[in-house]
């Protein structure tokens, strides 16, 4: 009997220990970024970091223009329709989500960069958009499935046409879930680097022309972190601090959105 109790205790101890150990890298990373990043933040306006921040925002906006409307529409399609084709589309979304981002980079490189004869912000935005797409589709579909059926029935019973029921009743009811999906997908792609190596490529200058190469925070971190110059490396730490803060803020906003506009009936 005693042995069984001891085993039970030992097991719990091991579980707690392993769990704590797996959180330690998180603190180490955050500590490193904070310690090394904070001292280089005064570089901010005299260095490349500002270009990279602007570039990151431009890329995200370009990606959103393409992927947000399409993602929401496809999400509605998946939640509203039935049949073999829907099953197949869902499978495609699943596969799309699993494609390594570097492979998406290759595709956009071949389909846009090569015909356009040069790296550009547009191609970078397109690559990020493809990565955002499945996340938005899935969150839209899952949110819309949670909305009670009587809402739709009530609207249809009042004689509201189907498309208006979807656009004016169902979509607003699922607003928080869809917005959360969009925010999380932005958080995900704002740290994406691999596809940008083949598309946006990076640039040393402030650039607002979307047909030209553009810099972004992850690209700057990659290029500067692997350089041999110590002041570039310290700028990379500063950029990391900004990027991690950006991602964290987006995640927190997403959580607040869920809390504030929770689906309640």
Beta-carbon count within 10 A of 44 CB: 15
* Region 224-263 residues binding another protein, contact defined as CB under 8 A: 225-226, 236-237, 240, 243-244, 247-248, 251
Residue given tokens 């047909």 in the structure block:
211
Q: What is the DSSP letter of 42?
A: G
Query: Do residues 127 and 199 touch, judged by C-beta distance below 8 A?
Result: yes
What is d(CA 75, CA 190) in angstroms, rounded to the nearest whole number? 22
What is d(CA 51, CA 243) in angstroms, rounded to the nearest whole number? 13
Q: How far is CA 89 from CA 64, 65, 82, 95, 153, in A?
A: 21, 22, 11, 10, 26
* Region 64-123 residues binding another protein, contact defined as CB under 8 A: 70, 73-74, 76-78, 80-81, 85-86, 88-89, 91-107, 109-111
Q: Give the per-residue contact string, 146-165, with another protein (x = CB under 8 A; - = no).
A: ---------------xxx--
Q: With respect to another protein, which residue has the nearer C-beta, 122 or 198? A: 198
* Region 181-210 residues binding another protein, contact defined as CB under 8 A: 187, 190-194, 197-198, 201
Q: Give the per-residue contact string, 18-57, with another protein (x = CB under 8 A; - = no).
A: xx-xxx-xx-xx--xx------------------------
Q: With respect to another protein, which residue has the nearer C-beta, 22 or 265? A: 22
Q: With respect to another protein, which residue has the nearer C-beta, 30 or 208? A: 30
């Amino acid at each position: 009997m005693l042995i069984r109790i001891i085993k039970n205790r030992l097991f719990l101890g091991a579980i707690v220990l392993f769990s704590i150990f797996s959180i330690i890298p998180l603190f180490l990373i955050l500590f490193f970024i904070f310690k090394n990043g904070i001292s280089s933040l005064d570089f901010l306006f005299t260095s490349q970091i500002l270009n990279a921040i602007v570039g990151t925002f431009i890329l995200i906006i370009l990606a959103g223009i393409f992927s947000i409307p399409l993602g929401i529409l496809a999400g509605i399609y998946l939640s509203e329709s039935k049949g073999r084709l829907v099953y197949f589309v869902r499978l495609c979304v699943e596969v799309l989500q699993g494609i390594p981002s570097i492979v998406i980079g290759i595709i956009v490189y071949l389909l846009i960069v090569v015909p356009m004869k040069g790296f550009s912000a547009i191609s970078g935005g397109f690559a990020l958009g493809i990565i955002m797409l499945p996340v938005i589709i899935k969150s839209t579909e899952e949110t819309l499935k949670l909305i009670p059926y009587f809402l739709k029935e009530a609207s249809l019973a009042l004689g509201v046409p189907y498309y208006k029921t979807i656009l004016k009743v169902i979509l607003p009811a699922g607003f928080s879930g869809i917005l959360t999906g969009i925010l999380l997908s932005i958080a995900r792609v704002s740290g994406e680097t691999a596809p940008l190596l083949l598309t946006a490529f990076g640039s040393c200058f402030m650039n607002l022309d979307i047909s030209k190469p553009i810099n972004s925070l992850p690209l700057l971190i990659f290029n500067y972190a692997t350089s041999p110059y110590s002041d570039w490396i310290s700028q990379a730490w500063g950029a990391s601090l900004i990027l991690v803060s950006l991602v964290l803020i987006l995640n927190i906003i997403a959580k607040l959105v869920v809390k504030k506009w929770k689906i309640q009936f």
